[in-house]
Amino acid sequence: MKISTTEITIRGFHIDVFGHTNNARYLEFLEIARWEAMQELIDSGFFSKRNLGFVVVNININYKNPSFINNVLEIKTQIKSVGNKSSVVHQTVYDKHKKHIICQADVTFVLIDLKTRKAVQLDDELRNVLENI
């Protein structure tokens, strides 16, 4: 499965009163990286033509090290697994210059039918597309 890389520079508005990046900001960074990883496929209209949308149903995140203003983060994103209805994206956030892990997350999502708002069964076509993001 492909690995997508996204860079984000920590800015002042990402920092909390303790001088490091607020933990909730990582959820935003991870979401930005997931969208970038899937942008080409989204732009192609693959999901919109099928009336499908992504819904995050679970996030497990492990914080390892803090990050600070002006640090450059490198987020590696890849599909970890594809099930019958849900899939898991694994993401690792690195400090680009110090080369250590900031945090790791597994994000579980489903594809929903935008009309019924129900999770769809992943047929062979959808599984193949997701496995190759």
Question: Which residues are marked as active site?
Answer: 16
End-to-end CA distance of the chain: 7
**28 phi and psi angles, rounded to 5 deg:** -65, -45
Neighbours of 2 (CB within 10 A): 10
Two tokens, residue 88: 């898991």
- How many residues make up the chain in this entry? 133
